[in-house]
Amino acid sequence: MSETGAQRPENLRFLSGIILVTGDPTRLVAFYRDVLGLPLIEEQHDGSEPHWACELGDVHVAIHPEADYPGEPTDVGSVKLAFMVFDLEELVAWLVERGVELCYPPVEFGTESRITAVRDPDGNLVELTQLGPTWLDHLRANRAAGGDLVAHWTARAATGDG
């Protein structure tokens, strides 16, 4: 990209959504909702096909059929998903009992965290990470530095910028 000298009005600081587009939404929803436990609910609005969505923290997660994104590729790309879990060993045991194959056994991730991964029915890599206390410290520091979406939005609205 070339520099145009124009001043960017703001930097991107928050992720608002993750949208998975698939040829088989029922199969993908069954994996994310019924196997991994995402609280997906069926939605339909603004002329879209039925799709499934939920909020994870401040991030909207949705699974849409290809018909909602005509002409967009739906093959497996380079986007990987990562979910924070509180008890990785218990979740891994539960997944293995249900025939979900791990990409690799849980391993140490830094000094206090553990990680493993599975593949969703479309072949996307889904990391499952039990993060240690230093990650909580990192999140606190991030929020204190302006990384809290609700606090940022509230402050902008109070000044009339929102």
Q: What's 65's domain CATH number?
A: 3.10.180.10
Whole-number Å distance between alpha carbons of 94 and 92: 5
Give the pLDDT score at 1.
52
Give the pLDDT score at 108.
92
Asked whether residue 67 is assigned to any structural domain, the reply reads: yes
Range of the domain at 27: 14-75
Asked whether residue 51 is assigned to any structural domain, the reply reads: yes
Asked whether residue 4 is assigned to any structural domain, the reply reads: no
Q: Give 29-81 pLDDT, tens digit per residue.
A: 999 999 999 999 999 888 888 999 999 988 999 999 999 888 887 777 667 89
**Cross-sheet strand order for the sheet of 17-22:** 17-22, 59-65, 51-56, 41-43
- With a cut of 80, say whether residue 8 has pLDDT above it: no
Provide the residue count of the chain. Answer: 162
Quick one: average pLDDT of 75-96?
87
Asked whether residue 40 is assigned to any structural domain, the reply reads: yes
Asked whether residue 84 is assigned to any structural domain, the reply reads: no
Q: Where are the beta strands (DSSP E) in 31-142?
A: 41-43, 51-56, 59-65, 81-84, 102-109, 113-119, 125-130
- Cβ atoms of 43 and 30 within 8 Å: the answer is no
Asked whether residue 93 is assigned to any structural domain, the reply reads: no
Domain count, the chain: 1
